[in-house]
Amino acid sequence: TSANPDQPEFLQAIDEMAQSIGGWYGKQKDFRKSRVFQRLAEPDRVISFRVSWRDDKGVLQHNRGWRVQFSHILGPYKGGLRFAPSVTESVLKFLGYEQIFKNALTGLPMGGAKGGSNFDPKGKNPAEIERFCQSFMTELSRHIGPDIDVPAGDIGVGQREISLLYGHYLRLSNTWHGALTGKGCNFGGSAVRTEATGYGCVYFCCEMLSHNDMEIEGKRIAISGSGNVALHAAEKAIDMDATVLSVSDSDGVLEFKDGLTKKDLGKVKTLKGKGGHLSDLSIGQFHKGKTPWNLECDIAMPCATQNELDEDAAKTLVEAGVSAVCEGANMPLTAKASEIFRQKRILHAPGKAANAGGVAVSGLEQSQNAMRQSWSAEKVDQELRDIMKKIHSEIVSADTGKKQLSYVDGANLAAFKRVAHAFHSFGSF
């Protein structure tokens, strides 16, 4: 705590890992002696920089930008960029730390990183976003490259921003190589990358349900968020004959009592793509200031942001008979909410595993760029399904030493072991 003052999100992520692996780690004399856990909790470096840009009135503005290069033990640094006013060093350190282990679970050669800025893209004109992205990349370009660090998108950074960032990177570096993922398919991007996190989350959910003698067909799913992850999770869930009860945004929740249809999903996608508010739609029932967690559902799929589902929400979901929680977002549950699901033995897939599909397809994009190839959507989708299946089987076979299968502990242990063994073998790294 003293080394990371005022970094509650980061400490929460470290604490969750410690709780999961504590029993196993206590018996690892060599790892303890070389302080593997403590050293892994220290990022390789945190790059922090000023981003100056001119707004449409000609006024010079500035924001803070960061890249947290957490660990490149298993491969080049890899992780998204987030543009939102809530971005702090603590948030990016928690996301970077989680990313090390998520990437390890995919089995692909990727280290862990995260970056972004406290810049708020909401309400900005396209020219302002372009000038901001160019200024941000002017500094970031010094620190990235296909064998060094390969950023992608996250909250507030979709395909438009990735394209602007990549275009500027090309001008600065004069070298075409895949230094960013999530690019447009006509200039080096991978098929299915946009859909991958949401689709992968549903694929993982299906594996988890089937391992526990259930199936997704007919299940009522409460989804939060209406961004990239949420809307593609909703799309795949509808394809699999589940009933999607909701989507949400910062203003409230849009409920669909009889289930969201593909047609209405299209309306939500169009509106959110233009930066609109769910409250402006004339479909479903909008509940201002509410979350989806008081809906009677079988599966809760939080896909918006960190700590969006708290203890009270967890209690409400349990009382309503929820069977599974599958995290599309990163660390969407508070520590207390997570503890409630553990006590009540609710199936709980952590983001590290359930939302790893996005970075997995980013890894496949890196491979395609290196080979100068472009794979079909069918091939990438099949690879994605296989990776989610493999992550699931690694988790259920992780020997956590506990009688009850916990997906949180299984994911943390399987990933930590992989990283720790490599780290330890590097000596005083």
Cβ atoms < 10 Å from Cβ of 296: 13
- Of 249, 264, 298, 409, the residue at the interface with ligand NDP (CB under 6 A) is 249
Answer yes or no whether residue 79 interacts with ligand NDP by CB under 6 A. Answer: no
Give the CA radius of gyration of the chain. Answer: 21
Strand spans (E) along 225-358: 243-249, 252-255, 285-288, 299-302, 324-326, 347-349
Q: In the bound complex, what is the minimum distance in angstroms from residue 58's beta carbon to ligand NDP?
A: 28
Instruction: Count interface residues toward ligand NDP (CB under 6 A).
Output: 24
DSSP 356-406: THHHHHHHHHHHHHHHT----HHHHHHHHHHHHHHHHHHHHTS--S-SS--
Choose the stretch contacting ligand NDP; rule: CB under 6 A; options: 172-180, 212-220, 243-251, 309-317.
243-251
Written as six digits, the tokens of 274 are 């233009």
Answer yes or no whether residue 229 interacts with ligand NDP by CB under 6 A. Answer: yes
**Residue found by looking up tokens 């479903």 in the block:** 284
Answer yes or no whether residue 99 interacts with ligand NDP by CB under 6 A. Answer: no
Catalytic residue among 93, 114, 219, 272: 114
Can 57 be counted among the known catalytic residues? Answer: no
Which residues, 350 to 379, sit near ligand NDP by CB under 6 A? 355, 358
Closest CB to ligand NDP belongs to which residue? 227
Cβ atoms < 10 Å from Cβ of 147: 12
> What character string, x for contact with ligand NDP (CB under 6 A) and - otherwise, covers 105-144?
----------------------------------------
Q: Which is nearer to ligand NDP, 34 or 195 (CB)?
A: 195
Answer yes or no whether residue 9 interacts with ligand NDP by CB under 6 A. Answer: no
Q: Which residues pair with 247 in a beta bridge?
A: 254
Cβ atoms < 10 Å from Cβ of 13: 25
Rounded Cα distance, 33 and 346, in Å? 36
Q: In the bound complex, what is the minimum distance in angstroms from residue 369's beta carbon to ligand NDP?
A: 18
- Of 264, 308, 381, 409, the residue at the interface with ligand NDP (CB under 6 A) is 308
Cβ atoms < 10 Å from Cβ of 275: 10
CA 209 vs CA 34, 123, 251, 324, 416: distances in Å: 39, 41, 31, 8, 24
Q: In the bound complex, what is the minimum distance in angstroms from residue 335's beta carbon to ligand NDP?
A: 16
Answer yes or no whether residue 304 interacts with ligand NDP by CB under 6 A. Answer: yes
- The residues of the shown chain that bind ligand NDP, judged by CB under 6 A, are 153-156, 197, 225-230, 248-250, 272, 303-305, 308, 328-330, 355, 358
State the catalytic residues: 114
